[in-house]
A and B are shown apart, each in its own frame.
Chain A
Amino acid sequence: MNIPQISVTEAQTPEVRSKIRRAPRLAQFDWFTRMLRDPKAVIGLVILAIFLLMAVFAPVIAPKDPNRIVGRANQAPTAKFIFGTTGQGKDVFAQMVWGARLSLGTGFLTGALITLLSLALGMTAGYFRGWVDGVLSTATNVFLIIPGLPLLITLAMYLPPGAMTIIIVLSVTGWAWGARVFRAQTLTLREKDFVSAAVVSGESTFNIIFREILPNMTSLVVSSFFGSVIYAIGADAGLAFLGFENVSIVSWGTMLFWAGNNSALLTGAWWTILPPGLCIALVAFATTMLIYSLDEVTNPRLRSEKEIDSVLKRFHIRSRRSTPVLRHERGG
């Protein structure tokens, strides 16, 4: 899966700047209201909401234990079992619904942890610079280059199995992306007037970081969180597929493990593969839409491009290569 990232540009820092010492809280969330007007974001939010509701209301939607054996193994979808049964004779639909809890839960929780970790490391590197930055940056680059899966597997092999291991392992491999971005943004913000003003007026380092710099990075933090969630859900599924997780607990990843284990392909049981994978894909897609929308809303250049597009449409101007001539006397 691809994990998009919003572009960190010089112009991305929000409009409230050097004149105001402490950025008003509400201005930080401008981008959120603007996102709500973007169809991409709305689609993303709706899809995520559906899955969240599915996870929360699992006992209502698919009552009874998803791990129960309910029928013959490998039955194709019927009216009774709309997604058929697994190689063990369990209800695929029920598993999918209940599996959302673990998959989404691990995904979001791990995503949050990864974001916090990368925020801490990235901001430290960007703010303190010097040798601290040197060490942290090298560590970040090393973790970026080293391929994730072999590292994941190596760590998972040695640690005792369990949810804790998964979370630790995912965090260790996933923090580097965000750290790079946060470091870059902190470096930029650090040079801004309002930070210098704070330093000169004797603000404590703690205050400067948490009250001056961090609030101006909210959209970046949100975007990084989304990216981390996508990574966590995907990597979690990968680990489960490989058998690193407790396969008796139902999640989308373990569903795929069993599908592979039971040679779903050779028996033709596509219904054991499709639903869990599509769920993962849809959640990742919805989150990606949110990231793209956020990028558009916070990047002034992208925003003005959109404005220009709508203006051009209104005047039926098609060519962008040469100056159009709109003369009212002639045909134009």
Chain B
Amino acid sequence: MKYLLKQMGLYLVAAWAALTLNFLLPRAMPGDPVMSLISRMRGQIKPEQIASIKAAFGFTDGPLWQQYLQYLNAVFHGDFGISISSYPVKVSDIISTGLFWTILLGVVSLLISFIVGNLLGVFITWRRGGVADTILPGLLTFMGSFPYFWLALVMLFLFAFKLGWFPLRHAYADELSPAFTWTFIQSVLVHMVLPAGSVVLVSVGGWMMTMRSTMVGVLSEDYIVMAEAKGLPQRMVMFAYAMRNAILPNITQFGMSLGFILSGQLLTEMVFSYPGLGFYLVKAVNTQDYSLMQALFLMITLAVLVANFIVDLLYVRLDPRVRAG
């Protein structure tokens, strides 16, 4: 319990830091984003619109702390302002679908990488010096050195463009519309193979090596010797005794790498034009859409924090020593 509260506290601080950063940056930077927007629109706006843009940005009158409170208030009401690039569409409308696809892709690729990676780690420790142990570490470490977006490019080129086995872009076939039909779900799955595949191929080596490292540590513990002394079959010793313990530090590490892996995934989304948050990130960058950018930063950060908390809940479930507090 104490552990969970401590983590919650950390996440609240992080969320506050992100919010405040979002607030301060446009005010700290040289130049005026509102003015740059206006100049981009080449004077085709009416004065009322200028006022509403300023309001949307939070550049209201009044002292700084007052603006800050108004800003916080707006955020808590889900009001992220108006997108510059898609003016006058509200930012919150744009990114809600993006959030869904990013989470879908993220959960799928993370789960696959983590599970496969950890199982491989157990396997190569079990069959030390075997074929897998000789080849996999070098191979998967090399693949793990690829930048996420680069492998995405290569896979897109090879499997979608050249071989035509998988679609080139998007989350589902263009002619379909979202529905709970089998055709739609199938299309979603097919479109997920390459993006998820490239994230998995890059990440899996890291999980495998970490698991191997923890397994080697755990296997030298006395309770493993006792398990052997009990005459338990090797399968049971490896999984119920060794892996059960070795996976714990990997879960905490999982939480910490979430932000890092998500960053890689965002770039992958860009390459595949996958309609997740990464896609909107590119749009925001290319059109200098500050309000969209801010909202995305916040949204992505919050998603990672929530994911971290879920991982913490899982960890508490798995390690009885933490449950006591």
The answer to whether B111 has its CB under 8 Å from any CB of chain A is no
Whether B147 pairs with A281 at a CB distance below 8 angstroms is: yes
Query: 0/1 per residue, A244-286, Cβ < 8 Å to B?
Result: 1000000000001001100001101010011001001110110
A142 touches B154 (CB 8 A): no
- Give the interface residue-count category, chain B: 35 or more
- Cβ < 8 Å to A, chain B residues 138-169: 141-142, 144-151, 153-154, 156-157, 161-162
Q: Are A158 and B26 in contact (CB under 8 A)?
A: yes
Q: How many chain A residues have a CB neighbour from B under 8 Å?
A: 56
Selected from A145, A149, A154, A280, the residue in CB contact (under 8 A) with B267 is: A149
Query: Per-residue CB proximity of A207-251 to B under 8 Å, as 1/0?
Result: 000000000000000000000001000100110011110000000
| CA–CA, A244 and B150, complex, Å | 17
- Please determine whether A256 and B150 come into contact, CB atoms closer than 8 angstroms: yes
For B209, the chain A residues whose CB sits under 8 A away are: 4
How many angstroms between the C-alpha atoms of A292 and B285 in the bound complex? 37
Say what secondary structure dominates the interface of chain B.
Answer: helix
Cβ of A285 and Cβ of B308 under 8 Å apart? no
Contact A284 B145 (CB under 8 A): yes
The answer to the question of B35 belonging to the interface, with a C-beta cut-off of 8 Å to chain A, is: no
- A153 in the interface (beta carbon within 8 A): yes
Are A243 and B149 in contact (CB-based, < 8 A)?
A: no
Contact yes or no, B145 A288, CB < 8 A: yes
Measured in the bound complex, the distance between the Cα atoms of B297 and A322 in whole Å is 55
Q: Is the CB of A145 within 8 A of B304?
A: yes
Which residues of chain B come closer than 8 Å to A155, judged between CB atoms?
Answer: 25
Is the CB–CB distance between A4 and B267 below 8 Å? no
Q: Which of B68-76, B172-180, B258-266, B313-321 contacts A (4 or more CB under 8 A)?
A: B258-266
Q: Is there contact, CB below 8 Å, between B26 and A277?
A: no
Bound-state Cα–Cα, A288 to B270, Å = 27
User: Is the beta-carbon distance between A149 and B17 smaller than 8 angstroms?
Assistant: no
Complex-state Cα separation, A268 to B18, whole angstroms? 41
Q: How far is the CB of B108 from chain A (nearest CB, A)?
A: 18
Contacts of A260 in B (CB 8 A): 153, 271
Which residues of chain B in 4-21 are interfacial with respect to chain A, using CB atoms and an 8 Å cutoff? 10-11, 13-14, 17-18, 21
Query: What CA separation (Å) do A157 and B300 show in the bound complex?
Result: 17
Known pairs A241-B149, A305-B216; A145 contacts B144 (CB<8 A): no
B157 nearest in chain A by CB position: A265
- A288-B139 Cα distance, complex, nearest whole Å: 12
Residues of A within 8 A of B18 (CB): 146
Beta-carbon contact of A238 and B285 below 8 Å: no
User: Is B203's CB within 8 Å of the partner chain A?
Assistant: yes
Which of A2, A151, A157, A234 counts the most B-chain CB atoms under 10 A from its CB? A2
Q: Are A285 and B304 within 8 A (Cβ)? A: no
Is B285 in contact with A280, judged by CB distance below 8 angstroms? no
Give CA–CA (A50, B87) in the complex, Å. Answer: 51
Is the pair B263, A1 in contact by a Cβ cutoff of 8 Å?
no
A115-157 CB mask vs B (1 if < 8 Å, else 0) is 0000000000000000000000010011011111111111101
- CB–CB B293/A157 < 8 A: yes
Which 9 pairs across A and B sit closest by C-beta, in order of nearness? A149-B263, A2-B206, A147-B259, A284-B145, A277-B150, A2-B144, A285-B145, A158-B29, A150-B297
A residues contacting B by CB (< 8 A) are: 1-2, 4, 7, 138, 141-142, 144-155, 157-160, 230, 234, 237-238, 241-244, 256, 259-260, 265-266, 268, 270, 273-274, 277, 280-282, 284-285, 288-289, 292, 301-302, 305, 309, 320-322
Known: A242-B267, A268-B161. 10 other contacts (CB 8 A): A147-B304, A152-B263, A153-B281, A154-B293, A155-B25, A157-B285, A238-B147, A238-B149, A241-B267, A242-B285
